[in-house]
Amino acid sequence: MNKDLLLSNLRNIPDFPIPGIQFKDVTSLFKKPECLKELNDALYELYKDCGITKVVGIESRGFVMGSALAIRLNAGFVPIRKPGKLPAETISESYSKEYGTDTIEIHKDAIDENDVVLIHDDLLATGGTMLAAYNLVKKLNPKNVMINFLIELDGLNGRAIFPEDADVQSLLTVEGD
Ligand code: AMP
């Protein structure tokens, strides 16, 4: 993987969406064909032999590379969304944020006990969002669940939030807190 290409094209937006946050803007990677291909190839190389049957993407930045990877892997794509967005029967999981709580939902029939699932999102900060997604997917009893991020912020130790046996991989690690 050409890390230099990806890191040099990842835009940092200071103080977005609130003062003090260094926002890693993955749209600056998505808009460049060479970066999009590099990300897609790197993800494919990581997961091509894992028997993945469903890629789960977290709304909304997890939809971009998640669905592209699903096509490469001959897997299905499943969205995790904010409440009230999915039209059929859902199950949900709530989690604490810095201020208040958030809830995410998945279609109840999106995953079954024969699936091997990869959950994908753009960025690991505290890990709260992904842990809720992991717990949500686990409720549907798939054979195995793996976790992937494009970017991991190394200052927050978000990785520590996941169970020790969880398979958590990131393409890039960048400084951030
Ligand atoms: P967390 O639950 O703290 O791991 O936050 C992860 C979610 O928030 C991801 O879906 C990211 O898209 C977004 N996010 C949190 N912090 C940042 C950041 N510094 N730059 C870009 N996105 C972020």
For the stretch 7-36, pLDDT in tens is: 999 999 999 999 999 999 999 999 999 999
Which residue of the set 98, 113, 164, 175 is catalytic? Answer: 98
Please state the φ and ψ torsions of residue 13, each to the nearest 5 degrees.
-115, 110
Determine the Cα angle at 144 with ends 139 and 150, to 5°: 95
pLDDT band at 3 (very low <50, low <70, confident <90, very high): very high
> How many residues does this entry show for the chain?
177
What does pLDDT average to over the chain? 96
CB 80 within 8 A of CB 63: no
174 lines ligand 1 (CB under 6 A): no
**Cα–ligand 1 centroid distance for 61 (angstroms):** 10
Question: What angle in degrees, to the nearest 10, is found between the helix axes of 62-72 and 33-47?
Answer: 60
Give the separation between CA 169 and CA 177, rounded to whole angstroms. Answer: 19
Query: Above 90 in pLDDT, residue 165?
Result: yes
**Cα–ligand 1 centroid distance for 114 (angstroms):** 30
Distance of CA 103 to the CA centre of its chain: 16
User: pTM surpassing 0.95?
Assistant: yes
**Cα–ligand 1 centroid distance for 45 (angstroms):** 24
Say how many C-beta atoms besides its own lie within 10 A of residue 98's C-beta. 7
First to last CA, the chain: 25
Known catalytic residue: 98?
A: yes
What is the 8-class DSSP label of residue 174?
E
Three-class SS state of 123: strand
For residue 97, the model assigns a pLDDT of: 81
Known catalytic residue: 61?
A: yes
Ligand 1 atom closest to Cα of residue 158: 4
